[in-house]
Amino acid sequence: MFDKRGGRRWLAVGIGVVLAGALASAVVASRSDDGSALSAAIGETSLTQVAEVPAADGASGRGVFVQLTKTGHLCVWEALSAISRERGGGCNTADDPLNGNAVSATLSYDGGPATADVQSASIFGLASAEVASVSVSMSDGSSRAIKLKKAKVGSDDFQAFGYRFKKSDLKKGIGPTAIVAYDASGGELGRQPTGIGG
């Protein structure tokens, strides 16, 4: 099941700060900061595109952007452009941007609450440089391979990704249950449940 409210939603699977709509609002920042410094830094720092969520089924394409802030955070956003104020995603500290995991992702969707009522859904994020492949496990037991794109963020190497779910899957009630990272031999390096689709 998806969120019961209408409009575009972003569900951070492995990210500590969520931004939705035109305002940058720090939900979780460092323990010594109420989030205002991070919110200000988000508004002041430019974004760099590292991947894309392709247009499909009537939904427009969106970019996947990263942002290194002066507060020491690495933010990952989905937006129409680098200057769009309508974006979703989140931030983690730059010294541990994946929260100790092999992959960090955010699920974005319009519609719901039932999976069959979702109009558009995508997942985007970063994986460590050691990750060879990423897939999304679906509620029917199948999986969807996600293309990775090398991304240099500051001095660190990552794999960036963006994936749009097929409307035909959503209409059948088939939703994403987890994002899974694999090494070159196919061994699982990490898994993050989406909290929906099951």
In this prediction, residue 21 carries a pLDDT of: 27
The three-state secondary structure class of 37 is helix
The terminus-to-terminus CA distance of the chain in angstroms comes to 8
Convert the pLDDT of each residue in 76-127 to its tens digit.
999 999 999 889 999 999 999 999 999 999 999 988 889 999 999 999 999 9
pLDDT number for residue 57: 87
* CB burial of residue 89 (10 Å; 0-12, 13-18, 19+): buried
User: Can you give the pLDDT at residue 30?
Assistant: 39
Residue 6 confidence (pLDDT): 44
Percentage of the chain lying above the pLDDT 70 cut: 82
Element (H, E) at 43: helix 36-44
Specify the pLDDT at position 169.
95
Rounded distance between C-alpha atoms, residue 112 and residue 45, angstroms: 33
CA distance to 33, 87, 158, per residue, from 27 (Å): 11, 15, 25
pLDDT at 31 over 80: no
